[in-house]
Every structure is written in C-alpha cells, then in structure tokens.
Amino acid sequence: MKRFAFYGRVSTEDQQDPESSKGWQLSRSHALIDPVGGVVVAEYFDIGRSRSLPWKRRPEAASLLDALARPDRGFEAVVIGEPARAFYGNQFGLTFPVFVHYGVELWVPEVGGAIDPGSDAHDLVMSLYGGMSKGERNRIKIRVRAAMAAQARTEGRFLGGRPPYGYRLADVGPHPNPGKAAVGQRLHRLAPDPDAAPVVRRIFDEYLAGRGLYAIAEGLTRDGIACPSAHDRARNPHRQGLAWSKMAVRTILANPRYTGRQVWNRQRRDEVLLDVDDVALGQVSKMRWNDEDAWIVSEALTHEPLVPDEQFRAARTLAAAGRRRPVVRKPRPTSQPFALHGLVVCALCQRKMQGSANHGRAHYRCRYPSEYAMANELDHPKNVYVREDQILRPLDGWLAQVFDPCQLDSTLDALEAAASSTDDAGQAKGRAARRRLTECDARLARYRAALEAGTDPAVVSAWIAEVQAERLAAEVELEQSTGQRDKRMTRDQLAALVSGLGDLLGVLATAAPEDKAEVYRKLGLRLTYDPARRVVTVESHLGPGSSGALPRGPQPSGGPTASTIEAPGSEAVGESQCRRGDLNPHALAGTSPSS
C-alpha cells in the first residue's frame, strides 16, 4: 500500500462550489492511484485562493510544503487531480525541486503517474500546463473587462460595488441573463438618498461660492451632519466615522457619477511584486487611479443627477486651477535648525510635532483644531508646546550611559530580550490570523450553502463581502507577522551596530543641531511627549525592521528613568485669549510656552 497526500485548490471568484470541486479533483486522483494500491491519508485543499499565488502564500499548500520536511509526515507521495489549478506560470519549476529534495513523489494524471525528475518530456508537460493556466486566467480577465466596459458605455448598467455617498441602490427588475435570473439575481440602479443627497448639493454650492475644502468639512462637522462612513456604518466598520475630512469632500467633488451618468474604470487593479528581491514570492494586487481619458462613461443618463453638468465641470475647473496655480512659499520666520526634527510625537493624537522657534528657543508644537478634537472625542488643547533644551540634556546623558563600552553586554541583552518578546507577539498574531482565516472559510462555505438553498442572493452577497474583507485583513496580518520574524538581527549584528554608534555619540556634547539630528536619526529615536504628565518617553529601534528597544532601567543617583525625560518647561495652551486686550498670549501667567 502506498500512502498519498492529496492537494487541490478552488477559486471562489466565479462562485464555484468548493465541495463539488474538491470531489471531482479527488475522483481524478483516486482513478490514478487506485490501480497501484494507493490510499489518500492526508488532504490539503485551498479555498478562495488565486492560482497566481505561489505555494508559500496559500495556507494549505504552505502546510503541505512544511509537511514534506518532517520525517513523520505519514505519506510517501503527493497526488494532484488537476495540475492547472495547482500550478500557474513557472510555479512548477519553483516547487517540484522541493519534492525531489525530500524524496517525495508527485503524481498527476497528465503524465499517468509519478513525475520523473530526469524526464524532459514530463518537465515540458508540466510547464505547458502552467502556461495554459496563466493564459486561461488572462483570457477570463480580458473577456470580463471587455463585457463590463460595453455594459457601462451602452447600457449604463450599475456594475456593483458601493454606491457613492448621496445615492442608494434601487431594484430595477430581474437580471437579463435567464440563468442568473433563475437563481434570484436582480439588476440595480442608483437612486438619490433623501438624507445624503442634499449634503452633496451643499458641498458643490459652497465650493463654487469660494469656500475651501477644509472650511466645508469643518462646517459639516459643526452642523452635526454624519460623514460618509458614519452615514453607512454597516459598510464602513473599519472607519471611526467621527468627523468630515478634506479628502471626503475632495472625493465627492471629483466623482462624475453625480451628473447622472454611469462611470466605470476610474481605478484599475495592478499586480506588483511582493518583494523585488525575491520574485518567487509572487505578486500582490494594488488599486491605482486611471487617467480621465481611460474612464468608461455611459452615453445617456442612467440615474437621477444630483448636480448639473455645468456645475460639476465648474468645480473640476476650479480644482484644476488650484493645482496649477504657482505656489509661493512663505519665508521661514527663523533659520534655526531643530535637532529632533520629525522625531517628537504627541501622545494625545499620535501625530508628529512641528519645530517652532519662540523667544529665540527651539520648541516642538502640536496644533489641533478644536472642531476635530470635539468630533474625535479627544481632550486635546489647541496648542501643545515642549522645549527642546529640556529634552536634549537628559537625552544625551541617557544615550552616553546606554552606549558606554562598559554597558555593551547589558545593552545587547536588552535588545535581544525586546526582539524576542516582539517575535513571540508576532507568532501569537500569526496564529490568531490563521484561526480567523479558518473561521472565515467555514462561514463562506455556510453562506454558499445558504445561497444554494434559496436564500436571497442580495443578502448572502453582503455576508460574503463582509467575510472576504475580514479574510483580507487576516491575510495582511499574517504576512506582517511572518515578515517581522524574518527581519530579526543576530547578536553579532547588534554588537557591530552598537559599537559603530559609540563613535557617533562622542560628538553630541559639542555638535551643531544638524549633526545631532543626524545622530538621532541613525539611532532610530522616537520621542513621545505626554503634556498631562509633562514627560517625554524615548525609544530607540536599531537596524532595518528591528524591534530591539534600548534599556529602560533607572539611572544612577536617583535621576529620572532611562527612557523617561521630565520636561518642566513645556505647556499645553488651550485658548489664545489675553486679559486686558493684550496681544501677547504668552504674557498670561501659567501659559507661557517658554517659561
């Protein structure tokens, strides 16, 4: 008896049934191995994974590759019922050597049994099927895009997706394809949303009246009008939906579908290499904007317009004129350099603080409009200041202590411990992501079963879209956790890096601010200022992608902790009002940014 592992794959892009697909692929496999007494003892079947993904990025295929390396794997060969579903392009040439290395046979019906590693004919057949698989996918893509372009241009058909803000979907009858109509699929069109449509008209009116994007967004937030993500929370669970932004206003002003015509192909999906240094990892899809001459616009009106053509063209002309007008840069009020430029972050809003010169001293400032603070439910003053000199003195002392040659071993121990804890956290995230992927696959299988049982296709489609969004987020988290583990530095690499930095720290005492800034950047410093406690927390991350934080233990002689710096000269200024009509807000007691 010969023990086999079965591998198969099914894509859900064209609503294939995973169970029936797995069944016929298993049937082909059994027809191949049963005459030789073969039995399938393990099954690996990827659901909803594109054939363009390499094996290492398909969960079940990656598990199969991991099993090949284990002596207790429990099988001597692998059988594939349909090689065109398993291999794409040159994937066979990148994968089969792994089977040969571990002495595991690979059986496919197209060669009548096991693939011979020394046979040019077998290699040619498998390469041919990989090319046919790639060609089939490209032909389907071309046909689908050509059909959608024709439907959008001549029929003005709504081709799916999220309706733009200001519209909702209205049913217009059964699908014209009899097969799709038989399973309950229907056509839809855009209809004005009674709550959001007036807001769209208001945005266009105010913009043409001379108000800027920021002023329009502030006015809508101030008037309590729900922003697009808050207006439709069911389709925007990934957004907070607390306030209008300039980008939301700009997007509405640039959307031609408000003129009553259907527009398609504003964006395209490009496939780019995941890692240019490792082509075998394959490609990922990126959405990118097309030029306006590539848009497909319906020849006639397809839904009720919210703004007339003239108003939309006037808004586009005004926006284009703003982009083309010459930009006059205001001279900087001071040429004073800032040693911590781009390194100081506000703990309240997690934004970088800007350099600001006040009374001849360097400060770092965080300005936050009160409207956005209220909308985002943040207790954030209008202005937050922290003095640079109050940070630099204890910072330089801490760095000198940490990178002292006598402290090298303890510093390396702390870096390794931090990297290990981060690696453990990454592995935990990876396991959690894999569990979510399994749960999503199970939910998708149930939803498709419900669809076959006669459940409303519109309802099931919404469920499937939600689960697919969760799967995508889990995939991204899984890739990130894997990438973090690959980027850990060895102790020798850390020692060489720290020893090299020791020479740089010698210049800090007398260095110019520009030189200090260069040293701090090489140290990977990040300083977080908490205005409530008036402390700055300092972290250092050494090396590309490393997660080794520097030691956080207390300094000798009862000083502040090694990674926490007190900032007594910092202030949070809430309102710029003065007593007795004074035009100098800093004259108020307790609100001086440089006291």
- Centre a 10 Å sphere on the Cβ of residue 212 and count the other Cβ atoms it contains: 13
Nearest-10 crossing angle of helices 213-222, 246-253: 110
**Residue 93 confidence (pLDDT) above 60:** yes
DSSP string, 5-52: EEEEEE-TTTT--HHHHHHHHHHHHHHHHGGGTEEEEEEEEEES--TT
**What is the structure's pLDDT at 567?**
55
Intra-chain end-to-end CA distance of the chain, in Å? 86
3-state SS track over 96-152: HHHHHHCCCEEEEHHHCEECCCCCHHHHHHHHHHHHHHHHHHHHHHHHHHHHHHHHH
Residue matched to tokens 């030789």: 36
Secondary structure element (H or E) that encloses residue 320, with its range = helix 309-324
Return d(Cα 410, Cα 429) in angstroms, integer.
29
CB 338 within 8 A of CB 513: yes
Contact between 34 and 1 under an 8 Å Cβ cutoff? The reply is no
30 or 369, higher pLDDT: 30
Q: Identify which has the larger pLDDT, 344 or 236.
A: 344
Angle in degrees, CA 69, 75, 76, rounded to 5:
85
For residue 300, the SS3 value is: coil
Choose among 264, 242, 236, 270: nearest CA to 469. 236
Average pLDDT, the chain: 77
Residue 274: predicted pLDDT: 78
Place of tokens 């703004």: 307
Provide the token pair at 50. Answer: 């594109």
**pLDDT tens-digit series, residues 145-202:** 888 888 888 887 888 778 899 999 888 888 787 877 777 778 888 899 999 999 999 9
Predicted local confidence at residue 407, as pLDDT: 66
Is residue 268 pLDDT above 90, yes or no?
no
pLDDT higher for 136 or 461? 136
User: Given pLDDT bands bounded at 50, 70 and 90, which one contains residue 335?
Assistant: low
Q: Residues 81-91: pLDDT tens digits?
A: 999 889 988 89
User: Does the pLDDT at position 576 exceed 70?
Assistant: no
Give residue 323's pLDDT: 59
Give me the mean pLDDT over the 316-341 stretch: 69
Mean pLDDT, range 323-330, rounded to an integer:
54
Alpha-carbon separation of residue 35 from 12, 29, 93, 211 (angstroms): 33, 11, 28, 79
Please give the pLDDT value at position 330.
54
DSSP class of residue 291? P
Cα–Cα–Cα angle for 196, 377, 247, rounded to 5 degrees: 45
Say what percent of the chain tops pLDDT 90: 22
User: pLDDT tens across 204-260, in order?
Assistant: 999 999 888 988 998 998 888 988 888 887 777 777 677 888 889 999 999 999 999
174 vs 505, which has greater pLDDT? 174
pLDDT tier at 506, thresholds 50, 70, 90: low
Q: With CA atoms as reference, report the closest residue to 540 among 440, 349, 398, 444.
A: 398
| Phi–psi pair at 105, nearest 5 degrees | -75, 150
Q: How far apart are CA 13 and CA 269, in angstroms?
A: 15
- What integer pLDDT is reported at residue 72 of this predicted model? 92
- Torsion angle in degrees (nearest 10) through CA of 22, 24, 27, 32: -100
Q: How confident is the model at residue 35 (pLDDT cuts 50, 70, 90)?
A: very high
Q: How many whole angstroms from its chain centre is CA 372?
A: 24
6: closest CA among 100, 82, 110, 78? 78
Residue in the block written with tokens 């291999």? 87
Q: Which of 271-280, 489-498, 551-560 has the lowest mean pLDDT?
A: 551-560
Dihedral of CA 409/412/414/420: which sign? negative
**414 confidence band (pLDDT: 50, 70, 90):** low
Average pLDDT value for residue range 98-123: 93
Of all residues in the chain, the percent with pLDDT exceeding 70 is: 74
pLDDT number for residue 504: 53
Residue whose pair of structure tokens reads 């206003």 in the numeric block = 249
The model's pLDDT over 451-475, given as tens digits with 9 standing for 90+, comes to 777 766 666 666 776 777 678 777 7
| pLDDT (0 to 100) of residue 491 | 59
Residue 33 burial by CB count (10 A; 0-12/13-18/19+): exposed, middle or buried? buried
Question: pLDDT tens digits, residue range 282-294?
Answer: 888 888 888 888 8
Note the pLDDT of residue 159.
81
**Residue 558: phi, psi to the nearest 5?**
70, 20
Q: How many CA atoms lie within 13 A of 45 on its CB side?
A: 19
User: For the range 411-416, what are the long-range contacts, defined as Cβ-Cβ under 8 Å and sequence gap of 24 or more?
Assistant: 411/498, 411/550, 411/551, 412/491, 412/494, 412/495, 412/498, 414/548, 414/549, 414/550, 414/551, 414/552, 415/494, 415/498, 415/542, 415/546, 415/548, 415/549, 415/550, 416/491, 416/494, 416/548
Confidence at residue 544, expressed as pLDDT on a 0 to 100 scale: 46
- What is the pLDDT at residue 408? 65
The band of 70, judged by pLDDT with boundaries at 50, 70 and 90, is very high
* Residue 279 vs residue 504, higher pLDDT: 279
Model confidence at 536: pLDDT above 70: yes
Nearest-angstrom CA–CA distance, 254 and 250: 6
Res 502 pLDDT > 70: no
Q: How many CB atoms are located within 10 Å of the residue 553 CB?
A: 13
CA–CA separation, 49 and 275 (whole Å): 19
Of the listed ranges 87-101, 298-312, 442-456, 497-511, the least confidently predicted one is: 497-511
Lowest mean pLDDT: which of 155-159, 227-231, 498-502, 505-509?
Answer: 498-502
Token digits of residue 513 = 């601010």
| Distances in whole angstroms, Cα of residue 51 to Cα of each of 349, 542, 590 | 42, 38, 65
Question: Is the pLDDT at 355 greater than 50, yes or no?
Answer: yes
Q: Indicate the pLDDT class of residue 337, thresholds 50, 70 and 90.
A: confident
Please compute, for residue 532, the number of CA atoms within 13 A of its CA located in the half-sphere on the CB side.
Answer: 5
Q: Measured between alpha carbons, how far is 83 from 525 in angstroms, rounded to an integer?
A: 51
